Structure 1
Amino acid sequence: MQESSVSLNEIIAHSSRARTIMSGKVNDIRSVTSMLRMLALNALIEARRAGDMGAGFGVVADEVKAISGRVEVLSRDLAVELLGEINALETLTQAMAQASQGDRLTDLAHNAIELIDRNLYERTCDVRWWATDSAFVDAAQSHDKSACRHASKRLGVILDAYTVYLDLWLCDLDGHVIANGRPSTYDVAGRSVANAPWFQKSRNLATGNDFAVDDVTANPWLGGAQVATYATGVRENGDADGKLLGVLGIHFDWAPQALAITQGARLSADDRKRSRVMLTDARGRIIADCHGKASLNETLNLKTEGRDHGHYTDHDGTVTAFHRTPGYETYKGLGWYGVIVQKPA
């Protein structure tokens, strides 16, 4: 795409030079014809002074005058027609350059949403795997204090290895947190998450192969940090079809991971200054942006017109490119979009 953009810019530069050359040459022609007409006028004056002896010279002067007039008309027509063609060429190449840039931005928006999809697919794998850990099964089944302390230690070990999580919560079926991986940082034991969407969805999952996910939220019990929470049921014997004993919720440290992806878009230094790379959820909420200003309270009204991907240009020249989540493996995505909004140069 970059090579195409450079080629179009060269065409625009050449057409601009052609406009300059044409204007200069037409002015030269008009200057010459003006001199010819003046010369013809002077010749006619002299012919009349010469009387009958200058009659033949007068005929030649009339022809020179007529020819200069025709050249003037031709130069004017040339200027009008050629200028019209150059204008059309410049408009066309600018439109092609804009479309080329829009296609490139759409590809980058696709890349951003695809990267987050792959990342979140791994989160679904994590929660379904960890929920089968015998320590969590025992704690969810017995509610024994010793078993819950052991479960907390196991959760802590996982957190030491997986730094993309803020905390992991093991909950009973009533929604009370009975163990978490960072109890010294987040005092959540005994708190109720019964009303949390991720907990309620997990209570209704058919098997341990299924998972639930909540919208990106700022969790007050995690210091107000923005998290994407994935959850699944903890089942008897760790079997996928075992009796439901509890729920494991894992809180993905959303903001820094999403910021790294939006800032990683392959934009030139000039494009980067004029662009805002974002991720939006299915409701249009901006859940990540390359400037680190995603408050979760701002909404973007995308003009998708039913398309999964594409771009459009506003009246002020701002280009908006978007691509809907394609999903990855068993993770079908949540209707999110990768978006790039770029101001004109």
Structure 2
Amino acid sequence: MKHPRVLLWLLLLLTWNLTTSCDNDDDDADEEILGNWASRSQFEGLARSSAVSFTIGAKAYVGLGTDGTDKFKDFWEYNPATNTWKQLADFPGVGRYQAVAFAANGKGYVGTGYDGVNRLKDFYEYDPTTNTWTQKADFGGSARYGAVGLSILDKGYVGTGYDGNYKKDFWQYDPTTDTWTQKPSFGGNKRLGAVAFTLNDTGYILTGSDNGVNQTDVWGYNTATEQWTERRTLTLNEDEDYDYSSVVRQNAVSFVVNNLGYVALGNNNGYRTDCWVYDPTEDTWTQKTSFEGSARMQPIGFGLGDKGYVGLGTTGSTRLDDFWDLDPTAAADE
């Protein structure tokens, strides 16, 4: 039988080890998870989900969407320097949601979507210098909603979505000639409600669902070679010691800050608040501080300067109009 004093020292040593271990874990977590969310000026239009957004210069443009009944046509400009909203000329097409948008050559482009009855393929150009809209050539593919849009080297790209069937075709829009050209189809499965972003002149498409199954593949598109390259899948890989399965979701939001791609919110077994950042050079994902607003899907997001911006969306039957920014390198402000 051990002496009581020996037992006491063993107990103290065990307690010290446990405390030290917990402290180290906390330190590691603080080092690994960065990002500070801050509430910004509330969106001045009606609360909505499935809106669109694009950026030109130092400003963002947000519009369309639905409150579950009405389909909106209003458009708004957000200026992060003054944290203010300004209403612009209404979108000239029918009100709609789950449309796509991108910017190219200093102008914004908006089209496709759903008006509650019809899937759509019309497209419009917005000129911020004159605050005017001009109808352009219809989207080259079939009328659809839930597609993705992105811009690469002053050309627009639209692909995936739903036209009565899940899609994986991919189209390029040239604003100088107002023409659509079909490109090699997306390398992964067909899908609806995916996200897309452009990093170092490469376009990426990921997440979304195909017939109710959330997709785990990530693909990059090279415009010079017109080839799709698969990147690390959003799964658990014990051999390479990573687990990116938490990034899997649909109807999420994406944005770009400093050549890194961010994915947040969305739906996967419930509404999400977690946020992840993708490094294309390392082909790795890192978790950032979770979004501090309500969990939601079908929000809008964009990057301006050194921050990302996220807002709107739906949680259950409630549409939202709050608006937040993320400083991705700052420690979370408790």
Same fold judged by TM-score > 0.5? no
* TM-score bracket for this pair, using the shorter chain length: under 0.3
Query: Normalization by structure 2: what TM-score?
Result: 0.27
Which one has a bigger Cα radius of gyration?
Answer: 1
Between structures 1 and 2, the one with greater strand share: 2
More helix by share: 1
